[in-house]
Every structure is written in structure tokens, then in C-alpha cells.
Chain A
Amino acid sequence: MSNTKTTSMKNLLLSQWVGVILLMTGVGLGTVNAQPIASAATYHYSQGEQWQPLQTVLQSVQDNYKVYLNYKTSLVQGKEVNVKKIKIGKNQVEDVLQKVLVQHQLSFEKLKDNYYVIYQSSQLPSLVPLDLNNETKKEEKRSSNPLSNIERRWNQQPVFNLEQTIRGTVTDLENNEPLPGVNVLAKGTTTGTVTDVDGNYRLTVGDDITTLVFSSVGYLSEEVEINGRNIVNLSLSPDIQSLEEVVVVGYGAVKKSDLTGSVSSVKAEELTAYPAIGAVQALQGRAAGVQITANNGEPGADFKVRVRGGTSINASSDPIYVVDGFVGAALPPPEDIESIEVLKDASATAIYGSRGANGVIMVTTKRGSKGQAKIDFNASYSLQNEINRLDLLNKEQFTEYIQDTNPDFTPLDGNTDWQDEIFQTGNIQNYQLGISGGADNLSYYLSGTYFDQEGIIINSGFRRYSITSNIEIQAAEKFKVGLNLFARRTQQDGARTQENSGGANNSGVVAAAFKFGPDQPIRDANGNYTLARLSDAHDNAVAVATEYIDENVTDRFQGNLFAEYQIFDDLSFRTTLGASSNNGRTGQYTPTTLQGGAGVGGDGRVNGSKNSLLLNENYLTYSKEFGVHNLTVMGGYSYQVSRNENWSGRSQSFPTDAGLYWNLGAGSVFQRPGSEFSEWELASWYGRVNYTLNDKYLLTLNARYDGSSVFSENNKWAFFPSGAFAWNMGDEGFMQNIEPVSFWKWRVSYGVTGNRAINPYQTLAALRAIDVLAIENGVPVNAITIDNVANENLSWESTAQLDIGVDIGLFNDRINVNMDYYNMVTSDLLFELPLPEYSGYPFQLTNIGKVENRGFELTLNSRNISGEFIWDMGFNVSANRNKILELPDGNDILYRSGPGHMVGLGDTQILREGEPVGVFYGWIYDGVYQEGDDFIEGGGFEQEAGGERFRDIDSRDENGELTGVPDGQLNNDDRTVIGDPQPDFIWGFNNDFRWKGFDLNVFFQASQGNEIFNYTLMELDLMAGRNNATTAALDRWTPTNTNTDIPKASGGRARRASTRWIQDGSFIRLKNLALGYNIPKVILDRLNIRKLRVYVSAQNLLTFTDYEGYDPEVNYRSSGATNSNRNLGLDYASYPNAKSYTFGINLGF
């Protein structure tokens, strides 16, 4: 038997894949073998009849409330009930059941959501054998009503030919908890039962029965061979792609099958697959269309999130975050999150109007559920190493190289591997302790987390402490209140890596480690830290890492109160009041042991900030079913206000370094203090209509009318509408013949969303008094300069988005495919329009220009193998094409991002119509000149053998216009677009394997076709003899080594943005590899433990890339609204990402 099972499994798999391929290519729809099936009849109960058969009434209850009622047919047969005062569809389901069942001394118990067991009041509801009918039609064929499969099995003739009795326990594979209400069916028959509250079942079937089928809503069905056993235990794995699953959208939730918009969901287990610094990191690679990149590998550093590309240039392209309905709230740690939904298309995001253009990330935190208190403890410990190192010259190689440009150079007597000196084995400790549960009118979830990371660079680290508390109270029959509280402290010990100017006073740790001569010791003979000798006398890496203090502490308190009142049966009102307060302090101290402190006697500064956010939402939801029509209308009003303050103090020249930044008054040279305040308000009206016809045709209309204080007098208010239509084609008659298709839905949406992410007060002309100072007789005096020129018409960026999508379920939803094509055009870009400089104003914030993002997303989830051995697979891929459609007057805008100390580098990037945002701009590097070559003239360009050769591509005519014709001269006109940092596509590939108690997770993440501007190598391998170089220098041009594209060492070489520094940044990374083992229940039961899982895992274990820097997954100067949009794919000695090895346990009582 088992042999044939394996074979058939293979066949099944094969045919599934063939089917998928056929379907995806649009071929063979008609060729798939299929049999017709009669739709399940839906019984609609008519109001006129006062007495109805109980069985009929219960059926009607099932239909109306979408619940499952589980009962022995004999209990209900022949019984009638009086339904006069019972309003099915209006009263709560439990009221209806109560009123109906009490007439026959029957009771019911809720086993889980939407699942009730009915029993005789005197009996316990356990072990109720089910009687199933003889319907032999395609059991596995899905109908429009997902409940009908099970409904069909109920209320049928009993079968009493008992020949073997099998019992067992069904548990949840994720958490080892008993699963009540699982249908257990003898395969090929109609005999079955359902598990009790403890997950136990007992079933008596004919001895010809070899296989049992276990099924439960929200779980993947399993077929298990009996093999002569009396006890068959089983763990079911949750069906995360279940179409019955409820998806959180703005101001409500819908069943996945009823979605009209493009929404990606990520579940708790994916978010906690490895210890993540925060929920955003955990989201990396998990959702199609969502690109998440680390700004820096530094512990506690921010991540950049782009949903379907960057929509803006000057304004923020960050999505908004909504935590349990609180817009702008902070994300709790991953362990406290139940699910994250990413709203992508206009149908989903337009309800957030002026803030929806960049996507919405909806976070639902964990709740308690009714029952005994559950205690969960999760702990992990990780060891971390830097992901890679650069191969740098050793002392002898370095000396030889430097002597090429400076024959007088004599090395010192040190021999230091600076990378060795700054990198260490870091570690992460991550703990969470939670307790959750609930009683009849109350549910609670309490959790505390502690995350402590010691960085891989000495003296860097990050700690996070948090408390989450969610309580819900059913205060009265129709009145529910709840409170979510979240408190968090984060502490960061920074390491300086994202330095702009790495001049003498600002060297970064990593850059200094790369650049410093290996001939230098860490300290000189007098015990002082050594300084760079070949360039600016900057500090060495160890000095910066050990001596420079940069500490940040941030406390966040966040509360969200909600109350929900059922005004009428169809109408409910919900109001929320969210408030948060974020207080931060950064202290920095540069002691006299560092260059920046030596000249000024120590330099200390403290910055404080306090941000508060208040949000009130009030909305009504009306929901009603009229026969085949289903209507939900939601409308409301919200008001939000944010206040931000910050202040700073700085002082220099301290009597001692011991006080750090905690005694600014002790400094004798006070520096300019600062303080600032800003405030914004947002008032909004919003509404949505969902209309469903026959469960097949779904229509959603959204609108939001937003008023924002940050816009000009004339443009405070704007309207953001969207509409979407979806068609459950799979439910149409003609689709019933297509065997593998269990679900097929088309979606199309169009809408306009906005981006109001600019700072307050930008519409006002201003004289600037802040930060300006004039000196009179050595003393600062008040001064003001002209600063801003007003734009009385400043308004929103608006993004019009079209989305066409299809969701397909195959083979009983074992395979789910979601595909979306979208096209977004953002107009009225908030743009810093450069003004004539002779006007005295640098620029004016203006609405001008257009950016387009077009793309394709595919998500595929598949249960490749099921049964005792399980292989689940999730794959997502997205391709986004970003393009600037329109710029002010069509002019190119050049800008620079190179580190400030790379003086002379100049512009490195360009904004140009027709190109993506952030493309690199410079010369084409043609390798090295050889003796006898024709040297191309040009001021500042090398014209000698061994020098860098650039391509002459353009010239200007007498009118100053570019001609496109080379002129034998190299100059600025010969620059062109030399690289594109935007990836062609990104993908994530997740695999879960389970076998007995073991689970294995293999998760890859990848980016393809993005280019990186490698400032690190530009600095190291310029071959100008100013610092150490990588081993590429060994192949530099010399009169005897001419066959190379690495130029000779030359002291005067200018830094040029060129193709020499542009590299392919594509990579595939094994982000997580985790092996876990669930201790068997039999052992745990003896120990009174609910679950115990131990695991080992590794993060970033393997990286496949051609990139020559140490890590393709890094960014430089990419924080802040404008820079985050246009500084993409830059690498300059960032804090590297880490490779981690983790051991952890999940323990539950």
C-alpha cells in the first residue's frame, strides 16, 4: 500500500505541476479532464411559516452565519421548532441557536470560531459520530460556498456495519495544541466523526477502510493510512493560504475570497522565523511587491520599505503603518504580531487617501482566545559574524604600492590587520514571555520581550525591551471595548559608519579599517592612537570604535482604545482613540583622544526629542444581505494631530573626558544650542461600499476626503476615490468542468491616492533666524537671512494606479497563485524646483513632474507534498519598472552622494526624463592607456600610459548644444548614464518541510539586475597612493604588467564617477535555514507542558553574488525622504550585515 501511495503522490505532483504550467500559459483550459457536479442547494427559509423542521432551521443558520453546526442527525430528525421570534441573520448566532435548541432540551458548545457542536443537554458533546450520506460526487470539488462540502455530509442515513474502531488525537502542527472540530472521514465512504474539545476522536468503520481523511477549516486536509493501527494521531498544519481566512483591510476585514484589492499577507510564523531586530526586518522577502533593504547593518538601524517602487523624489516614499487601526503607530516586536497585511493597489489603499500612495502596512497584534491561560516562552541565542571581508594588501604589498607614487615612503614597524581589530563575534539574545487566554466576556494577551544584540563591530550594540497588552471586554450584549497598550525602550550604542565627510575629525570605523596602512600600529610609542599618514590625518579604526560615544535611548508609549457598539443588527459603530508618545535622547561625545576632540578639548552634545501623535477614528459599518445581494457600507471621520519637538545642546573644551556628554556646563566653549517645534493636523472623511452579487461579482468603492495643515491655504483639501471589481470566475458554470481549478478570481481596480509627506510650514515664506549667526567682535549676534519663498499653491502628490490581478486556486487550493500587473503614475511631484540662483533663493517646493512605476507580481504557494512528510513552498517575485516621466522644464538634475572627503568627485547621479530615479552618471571607463595609444585630451584627464582611459562620446556646437559627436576632448559633456540601481526583479522563496516532529525552513531572498556604485572600492582602488587598497592593486599597470584594466599607481589621479566603480549587485541569499524539533506530545503530557520546540538556525549563511564589495545588501546615505528615494545602490564602508547562528526554544504551558 505504501508503495502505491508514494507512486501516486509523485504522479499527483507531476500532474499538478503540468496543470500549473498549462494554466499559467493559458493553454489547455479545455483539455483538462473534468466531471460536472451539481451545485449544492442552498435552503432559504421563508418567514411566513411559524413551525419549521429543526434540521431545516439549523441548515439556514449555517447558511446565514457561515458557521458549521455539528450534530448527530438522530438528535434533530423529526423535530420541529417555533421560529416566530427568531430572526435568523439578524440576531447573534448564539442567540438563535439558544432559542431554537432550548425547545428540545438541546445544548451547544462553541468549539472554535464559527464551529458549534450540538448535543443533548445531559451529555457531553464529545465523540459524536457523524452520519454521512452516500453522495459520491466529487467530494474534493470546491463549490462557491466553502462550507457546502461539509454540509453535504451531514444529516444523512446512519451506517452501522462496524468492524474496526480507530481513535486518536488531532493537534495543530504549529503549536502542538489539540484541535477540536476536525472532520475525520473514512476515505471512500460517508462515515465520519469530528474531534472533541481535546482533539480526540473515535471512529468505527468497516475493516475494508484503509485511509482516513482529516479536514478542518483553516487547515490543510490530510489523508492518513490506517495500516492496521487502532490509534492514529495526527498533526494538521494550518492552511495559511486559506481563502476562508479573514484579511485585515483599512477599517474592516474581509474574507480572502472576497478581496477585490491587491493585498499580501504575512503570518506570525514567518515573522518569527529568525530573531529579527524588528517587524520590518522580519517582513523582508516575504511579500511580493515589497522591497525591504537595510540602510546599514548596524544594530538598530532603519530599514527602507518600498511597496511597488518609489513614487516620489523629494517627498517620502515610505508606506504608512497601521497597527490595530492606529495610523502611524510603532510596530510591536515580531513575536507579538499575529499578521501583517500589505495593501498595495488603490482599491486597498485609497481608504487612507493622502497617505495611501506608498502602500499601507497593516499590523494585527496577537489576541487572547477563550479558554485556559496559555503561557508561552520563546528564547533564542545567536552568534554573529561579519558576512564578508575585503582582501586588502598586507604590509609588504602596501609598502610596495605606496612607493610607486612616493619612493621616499618608509613603512612603520607595525603590522596590523585592521579588519581583525574592529570585528568581533557578536551575539543576539532574544526572549519573549507571553500569557494569553480569555473568559466569556474577556480576552487578554500580555507579552514582554527583550532583545539584546552585541554588534559585530566592537562597542556597538542594541537593546530593546517591550511590553504589549491587548484586552477586549464584551461589556454588554452589544457593546465591546478594548485596549491595546505598547511600551518600548530601545537603546543603541552606535558605531560611526555612514559618515559623510570622513575627514580627519569624522572617520568612520569600517572605512578607516579599510584605508589605514597595515604598517601602522594601533598606538604609537607614546601610547597615542596612530593617525593616517598619507591623507587627512584621520583617526584609526580602533580609536573611533573605542573612543567615540554615540548613544541613543528612545522610549515609546502607545495606547489604542476602541469601543464598538451594535446599534442595530445591521449597523455597528466603532470609535478609537489612539495616542502615542515617543521620547528620544542622543548623546555624543568625542574625547580628546580623537582628532575631533583633540583640537577642541573634547566635544559633547545632547539632543532630545519628543513626538506625540493623537488619532481619533469614528466609523459606522452597515452590513446586510438581501438574497443574493450582499452589501456592506462603511463611513466615518477621523482627526489626527502630531507634534514634534526637539532641542539640543553642545559644548567643547572640558577639563576631563570623564563626564562624557553629561556635563555640558563644564565645557568652557559653549556651542550653539537648538530647539524646534512643528505640528501637523489631518482631518478626514472616508467611506466604502462593498457589494457582492451571488458571491461571484464583487464591487468595492472607496473614497477619502482629506484635509491637511501642511498644504497651502488654497489646497488644504483633496478627494481620493477608488473602485474595484472582482469576479469569482471559478464559480461560474463553465468553470465547473475544469478539474484542477478550485478557485479563480479576476480583479481590477483603479484609484487615486496621495502623498502629503512633506514637512510642516513649507508653504510659508520665511526669514530664517534659526542656525544663522553673525559675529560681531567675536561674539554671536542675532541674524536673519532670506530663506524660503512661498508657494501658495503647494498641494498633494497624487498617484493614479491601475491594478489587474488574478487569484487562482488549484487542486483543492493546494496550489494558490496570485498575479498582479500594476501601473502607477505619480503626478504633481513635490519637487524642490531649482530657482535662478541670482534670485537669492536656492529652490522652491513645487508640484511638478511625474514618476511612473509599472510592475508585475507573482505569488505562488503550494503544498508540494502532504501526508506524513510535508513540503510547503512559497514563492514570490516582483518586477518593478521605475521611470521619470516629467521633470521641471525637462531639465536634467544632477546630484552627488559621494562621501564628503572624496573631494573633487562631484556629481554622481542624475534625474533625467525617461530614466529611473537614482541612475548613476559619469564617464565610461575604457581601461588603461598603453604606450603608443592616442591619448584623449582634456583638463584633469590622464594622458599617459597606465592612466585611466575614458571614452569621448560627446561635444557641443557653437550654441552650446550637445551634438552627440565625439570631439577628441574629454570633459563633463562625455558623461552619461552608467548604471541603474533598481533591480530587474526581486524574489523570495520559502520552503517548509515537516516530518514527524521535525521541521525545516529554507528561505532564500534575492535581487536581480540592480547595480551598485561602489564608493568603497573607489576609495581603496583609486591607485592614488593615499590609503590601503584591495589585492586588485597587485594587478595594477606597470611597464611590465600591461595587460590589465587597473591603472598604475598615480598620486594625482582625480576621482571620477565612472563605469569602473559600477558593479552588478545581484544576489541570492540563503536568508534563513532552520531545523526544529517538536518534542512529542506523549512526553510533554507527562511534564505538563503544552508544547516544546527546539531549533537551530542560521541566517545569511550563503550568498551567491558577483559583487566585489563585501556585501551587496548595503546602502549608503539613504536615509531621509529625498535621499531614500534617489540614493539607491550606494556602498561606502557600511556596517556589514551579519551571518548568524541561532539556537532557540519555544515553550508553552
Chain B
Amino acid sequence: MKYSINKSFLLGLLVTFFSCTDLAEEPVGLLAPEAFFNTASDVQTVIMGTYADIASEQFYGRKLVLSLQLRSDMCDIGDRNTPARRQQVNDFNMDSNNGMITAFWPRAYRIIGTANAAIAGADIVGTEDEAVMVLKAEATFIRAFVYYHLVRVFGDIPYIDFTIANPDDVKDIAKTPEAEVYQRIIADLEFAKANLVDAHSSGARSRATAGTAASYLASVHLTLGNDQQAYDEAKFVIDNKDRFGYGLMEDFAELYDGFNADGLAEHIFMVDFAAGLNGTSSQGTDWMGPITGIRSVFLPNTNAGWSVSVPAFTVFETWDDRDYRKEVSFIDSAFADAELTQPIGYEEFAPNHGSPRPHIGKYFRLAGNHRGDSGQSDNNYSAFRYAEILLIAAEAAINLGRNDEAAGYINQIRARARNWNGTMTDFPPDVTVAEDLTQVVREERRLELAFEYKRWYDIKRWQIGSEVFTGANSLEPHDNFDASRDYFFPLPQDELDRNANLLPQNPGY
């Protein structure tokens, strides 16, 4: 009996020997948010996360910017085999399930969420440290930058400026009215302008500085019709251009050379891509090269593109051939063979793909290193360049009646445009105050910033949609343009389905 008891004891011991575990998870390689923020560099890492998502396919790599590009009167659909979602944006027949908005809406809010996390992180680390305060200002700028896009695309939107620990907390929030969103954007930008540095030590133009914040303030005020503030901010940037290191590039073409596009003086804010390096949720992935490039042709630095976003022929036709910017902005000849021996004109572009006309040159021609068709490239996309600040200053000045000054700003741009790859030409000539400067500045914006995602916002800002899409001189006619509907995109249906608190939908959808 005793023997048996011993054996049982032994057995019990054996069993319990293996039963010591607390089952706690100790993840390696994952970062827990509550323990993460200790130093300024931690805050900066999270801020870099927002830039990573801005430079993603869903945002500045394609979805957002392609939507803006197609929506304008400058870019039409080339190959009509392209997905319906793109054609709908271009053709003013979007519905709320449109695949462009359902992609860039959530990405925009992820950037905002990450910016909010960085702002909260800065507060945890302590903003009495000046470096941390600078970073907080940078994150605040990014929040404003994203909301500035959202508010122009959608109008009233949910406005989140805090970190969300529990998603239930925000499931019932209402949309914030457009005007209030603008006020908050202005507040964020002013905070950013006051606290940001003038330049980053790396010289990177992909990160916001005080100059970036001021430039966006100028743009926001102009959009809101606050001409004096717009003028003041633009003037502030112009007056401090040396402090910020801003200026026009000598040669317009330099702006679109992906092999040489870092730290350009003209870039007030740009989105930085590097060839072939992409994160799992499409960070660092740009497709505007092949999207605007030509089907079935060859260029020295790239294979064929996809002929998706191709200007209507009128856009090309009406642009003065003497303008160097036309030469840079378009590709009108290419090669039919990989050996680059058989040049063909644009009439032979994209056989079988329905767009035998000049294609956009700004993204396709010199994208830097890329995966073969100018996709996943080294290109850097300009989000705001010094030329635009001059044009904002000019437009605001005109509205304020200071035509002389305005003409001066415009002429800076025209002077640069006369530099045809090192050869000075006499086109375009300087403007004089005798001209209708309002029209001049609008045309100047259209051509100078052609295909750069600005035109749709301008059409909306000037409320000229009916004129440019249904008017006699329309470059890209769309008879169905409906001013009561089309100045806003619909809110994404999947979001509305889950969140009735966002109703009503924008009018007309």
C-alpha cells in the first residue's frame, strides 16, 4: 500500500511539473503604444508613418491624385477599358460605391489617426522640449493637410483631432460642417507655422516647415475668399524665400526629372518616393507614371504605360506651341520598338487602346529608377511649389486691386518659362496690367500647374464647372456636369452603411 502511495505521489508530481505557465504573450517586434513614446525621436518615427501613408497608392501615389486629375477639364480617360471607377470620376457619374473614394477615404483617416497619435505622443514626451514642440507642430500640419483635401473633396466630414482608444467612442459622432473644418485647418496651420522650423537639417522638402504651413495657409485663405489673409501669407513666404530656401527652378523641366528631384528649391512640399521600395499597405508606391503613360510604345527610360489619364486633344491643341511648358508637359512622339529606332507620332499611340493623342509627360518620361513602366518609381510628386505661391500672391493681389504687384508675380513665372532648355525664347511674353488679369492668372495656373492635381480644386473654387464642362470653349465637354451635385464627391457607401450618423449623403448621390 505504501508503495502504491509513493507511486501516486510521483505521478502527481510528474503531472504538475508541466503545469507551470501563465500564458502571457510577450510579443517581439510589435510596439505597444502606451510604452512607446519616450523621446522626441519616437514622436518623429510616428510622424514619418504619416508621410509613409501619404506616399501610398491610396493617397498621393495614385487614388487621390488620379481622382483630382481626372475630375478636371485637363485630363480625360484614354483607354476606355480602364476600370469604371476611374471613368465615373472623370465622367461625372460617380456613385457612392466608387472604388476611388472607398480607397482614399480610409487612408486619409489613418493618416489623421497616426498624426493624432504623434500629437498625443508629443504631449506625453513633453512639449517643453523645443524639439518635441516642433514635432507636434509637424504632426499638426499633416492633420491640416489631410483635412484640407478631405474638406474640398467631400464638404462636411467627421473631424477627429484626438486619439481613439475605443472605436465605440466615435461611432455616433456627427459630421462637422465644412466651414468649421476650415477653421480648424486654419488653427492647425497657424500653430504649425508658429512652431515649425524653417528647414529640416536633412533639407528634405517632403517634410513640413514653417514655410509649408504658411503656404498652405495662403491656399486655404484663398479658397475661402479671404484675400487679405491669402495675400499676407503668400507675401510672407515670398518675403522669406531665402530664409526657407525657396525659389523657381531655372529650367521648368527640372521639376519633372525623377533622377534628380530631391531638395529642389521650388518644392515647398513634395511627396517622396523611392524605386521599388513598397510597404505592405502600398506605402511608397506610385503609379502616376504608367497611369498617364502610353500603351504599346517605348521611350528611352521606360516601357509602355497604360493610357488611362490622357488629356483631351483640345487641351494640347489650344496650348501655344511656343510654350516650353507644353513641350515638357506632353509627350507627342515615341518609339514603336524596344530598340528605339522607329519613331512614331501621337497619331499612332496606343493602338488597340483608343487614345491616339499626346500623353502627359510630367510623370512618365523621367520617373527615375522604376519597375519598367515608370511605376514604383523614384519620382517625387510636387504637392506645393513656389510657382504656386507666386500665383496665389498674384490672384489675391488682383482681388485686392493691386494689379501691378500681381503682374510682377506672374511675370516671374513667365520669365522662367521662356528658358527653353537653356535657350531663352520670347514666349510667353510678360503680362501687362492692361490685360484681364483675373483671366490671365487663371490661365497661368491652368498651364503652369497642368496635370498637377490643382485644376479641379480651382474649378471648384472659382465655381466654373458649368462653363468649363458645358461651355462653348470646353476643353473636355461633359454635358451631364451638374453644379448642384458634382462639386462634391459622394461619401463612401460602405462607411455610410455602417455609420448612419454620417447621413445625409451629399446632395445628388
Contacts and interface: CB of A to CB of B under 8 A. Distances in A.
Interface of A: 406, 408-409, 504-505, 528, 533-537, 567-568, 573, 575, 595-596, 598-600, 616, 618, 620, 636-639, 652, 669, 671-672, 675-679, 681, 683, 707-710, 716, 760-761, 763-786, 789, 834-842, 844, 889, 891, 894, 903-904, 906, 939-940, 960, 971-972, 1024-1026, 1051-1052, 1054
B145 to A, nearest CB: 15
B164 A839 contact: yes
Contacts of B338: 528
B48 A672 contact: no
Interface stretch (B77-85, B241-249, B311-319, B408-416): B77-85
Given A505-B371, A534-B352, A1052-B80, A760 B109 contact: no
Contacts of B369: 669
Nearest to A676: B29
B110 A840 contact: yes
B4 A568 contact: yes
B342 interface: no
A535 to B, nearest CB: 7
The 8 closest A-B pairs by CB, nearest first: A599-B372, A840-B113, A904-B83, A783-B48, A785-B49, A939-B93, A903-B83, A774-B52
Interface in B433-451: none
Contacts of A679: 25-26
A1076 to B, nearest CB: 49
Interface stretch (B190-198, B392-400, B495-503): B495-503
Contacts of A535: 81
Contact of B21 (A681, A837, A838): A681
Main secondary structure, interface of B, reads loop
Given A677-B29, A785-B50, A789-B165, 10 more contacts: A406-B352, A528-B338, A637-B16, A709-B24, A772-B281, A776-B51, A786-B49, A837-B109, A839-B160, A841-B164
Contacts of B7: 567
Given A600-B276, A777-B203, A783-B52, A837 B95 contact: no
Interface stretch (B30-38, B216-224, B229-237, B469-477): B30-38
B23 A716 contact: yes
B204 A940 contact: no
Contact of A1054 (B15, B16, B84, B95): B84
A415 B503 CA distance: 58
Interface string B184-211: 0000000000000000001110110000
A888 B382 CA distance: 42
A778 B262 CA distance: 7
B14 A840 contact: no
Contact of A677 (B28, B106, B296): B28
Interface residues of B, number: 106
A533 B296 CA distance: 7
B263 interface: yes
Contacts of A789: 164-167
A772 B52 contact: yes
Given A598-B372, A772-B283, A837-B106, A575 B14 contact: yes
B274 A764 contact: no
Contact of A834 (B113, B280, B283, B498): B498
B272 interface: yes
Contacts of B15: 618, 636-637
B352 A533 contact: yes
A575 to B, nearest CB: 7
Residue from A406, A708, A786 having most chain B Cβ neighbours under 10 A: A786
Contacts of A773: 52, 277-279, 283-284
Contacts of A620: 11
A778 B378 contact: yes
B146 to A, nearest CB: 11
Given A765-B33, A960-B503, A1051 B80 contact: yes
Contacts of B8: 567
A994 to B, nearest CB: 50
A280 to B, nearest CB: 30
Interface in B377-434: 378
B113 A904 contact: no
B373 interface: yes
Nearest to A711: B23
B485 interface: no
A709 B24 CA distance: 6
B112 interface: yes
Q: Which of A620, A769, A834, A839 is packed against the most chain B CB atoms within 10 Å?
A: A839
A683 B11 contact: no
B372 A971 contact: no
Contacts of B91: 939
A504 B378 CA distance: 20
A798 B275 CA distance: 47
A599 B36 contact: no
B371 A780 contact: no
A770 B29 contact: yes
B268 interface: no
B68 interface: no
B255 interface: no
